Amino acid sequence: MSVSRRGFLRLAAAGAATAGIAGCAGAAGSGQTAELLTSRIPLPQRFRVPLPVPAVKKPARSDATTDYYEIVQRAVRAELVPGHRTTIFGYDGTFPGPTIRSTSGRETVVTHRNELPVPSVVHLHGGHTPAESDGFATDLVLPADRRMAARGMHGGHMLGDIRHGSRDYTYPVKQPAATLWYHDHRMDFTGPQMWRGLFGMHLVHDAVEDALPLPRGEREIPLMICDRAFEADGAFRYPAIDPSLGHKPGVLDEYMEGVLGDVILVNGAPWPELEVDAARYRFRVLNASNARRYRLALEPKPDGENGFVQIGSDAGLLAKPVRHNEIDIAPAERFDVVIDFARYPVGTKVVLRNELGSGPAAEIMRFTVARKASDDSAIPAKLAEIEPLDPARATVRREWRFNRGSVGDHRGWTINGKQFDPDRMDARPKLGDIEVWRFFTDLHHPVHVHLSPFQVVGRNGRDPGRYDAGWKDTVDVRPAEYVDVAIRFTGYTGKFLMHCHNLEHEDMAMMASFETVRP
């Protein structure tokens, strides 16, 4: 259930009083912090379009240590909804972009050329990446066909490392196997630019994962789930104050809590269908929505319940499998899961449902169990070694409060009562130290930390939740809740970001900068 703007403003007016926040949590507890934007086209019929699988990008060249990729960001007209053409912003002109596969310990360099009409920034979400390639929000790549002024943008703040036309992003890939993704991170405009299509998968593999008998090949499939809305002519509908995405950021007042669409896309197709063998499949699930949270469930459930076996989280494999009947997934979170379709009779149609949605948003896609098949995959009892970060060894404890607040002369979103200022460093953690960060919230805020993953060590002073296992880089913090995470930054000094991944919140100032320093 969405929180109304009027109710939200009443909460803001009441301040952060415990009673006010608790009342709001009761209203929004299992729902959304966002408002629904409806489409002006007839909604497409469900389960009529085959699930597309994004192409795997091939390196432009390789040498002994490095694979080099070239991606062009461009605006193209594509058919997402059957019978309608939509202008997308696409990596290589596709929605979503191509999948990049890297090997741990082998460097990846991606050259992004910007042929869009707007500046862009690329962030490898979950990447253990040097600051100069992490995609700091003001490190813009200006369009190749125009020279935009580097002054007068972003509220007078100095811009970062500006490039014209293209930029090389260097990823050392010194991290274990994980389901990463890349997306736009332009300050103040991440929401509308991702809404138009600037995201894609980046998968890291290593020897530990390769040795496991997990499903692979055609039975290893990314599922990038997002919601969108469409105009009568098929264009994306989005409530930007400045539809040109040129200079004035933000959304219309009634959508400040976040934007929900009424068309569910998976890998860019509306409510698709996938024909599967009666065998195990590995799905790398990403919530690529701006603000929508999902509760994934299978209907019908397989015999014995527990339709999902989780094998990985945001930043890598779990120590051991975790079984779920349903999975709550917030924006930017990833769940690496196995579904065994051999537990269904051939001919069964299995719907992937969203139990936090209603109407068209209550369903996501459908699987049809088409045939019996051999299956030599398995889910081992042990997956990977995970070093526990002991919060008792923390050298520093920090508190971060995510709340509605003043942003200049209007209402927006703040961290510790401050709007984002790229010139201000809100923390300076030392490389190698364990720190405990506590995130407080008023409403739903999926919190993402750049550079290094963390471990959830508690919620509201109790144990972690059932979806908190493993290495995380994004955590779903629910209304009037606090979450403690243990984090150890390693590898690289420089400026990085921490922010809410409700993209409307992020664009309206709910972001903070920190600088990692040497001991």
Residues 284-309 pLDDT 10s:
999 999 999 999 999 999 986 789 99
Q: Is 424 exposed, middle or buried (0-12, 13-18, 19+ CB in 10 A)?
A: exposed
**Strand-pair partners of 471:** none
Work out the average pLDDT over 50-74.
98
The answer to whether residues 55 and 99 touch, using CB atoms and an 8 Å cutoff, is: yes
Q: Do domains 61-210 and 217-372 have the same CATH topology?
A: yes
d(CA 185, CA 135): 7
d(CA 415, CA 510): 6
pLDDT at position 14:
34
| Res. 1: pLDDT tops 50 | no
Backbone angles phi, psi at 173, to 5 degrees: 55, 40
User: Taking Cα atoms as reference points, which of 150, 151, 121, 125 lies closest to residue 136?
Assistant: 121
CB neighbourhood size of 36 (10 A): 17
d(CA 243, CA 237): 10
d(CA 324, CA 344): 17
In 136-279 the beta strands, taken as DSSP E runs, fall at: 141-142, 163-164, 166-171, 178-184, 199-205, 220-230, 236-237, 259-260, 263-266, 269-270, 273-278
Of all residues in the chain, what percent carry a pLDDT higher than 70? 92
The CA-based angle 229-235-239, given to 5 degrees, is 55
Work out the average pLDDT over 74-92.
98
State the pTM of this model: 0.93
Backbone angles phi, psi at 487, to 5 degrees: -140, 145
Residue-averaged pLDDT of the chain:
92
d(CA 186, CA 183): 10
d(CA 461, CA 438): 10
- Which residues have CB under 8 Å from 255's CB, separation 6+? 34, 35, 37, 239, 504
d(CA 331, CA 304): 30
- Which residues have CB under 8 Å from 281's CB, separation 6+? 215, 219, 220, 221, 338, 339, 341
Counts of helices then strands in the chain (DSSP H, E): 5, 35
Work out the average pLDDT over 339-361.
97
Amino acid at 331: P
| Res. 4: pLDDT tops 80 | no
416 backbone φψ class: left, alpha, beta (φ>0; ψ -120 to 50): left
The pLDDT confidence band at residue 407, using thresholds 50, 70 and 90, is confident
d(CA 344, CA 214): 19
CATH 3.10.450.230 is held by the domain 61-210: no
Q: What is the homologous superfamily of the domain 217-372 according to CATH?
A: Cupredoxins -  blue copper proteins (2.60.40.420)
Which ranges constitute the DSSP H helices of 431-519?
Answer: 503-507
Give the residue extent of every domain in the chain: 61-210, 217-372
For residue 16, give the H/E element and its range. none
Residues 102-112 pLDDT 10s:
999 999 999 99
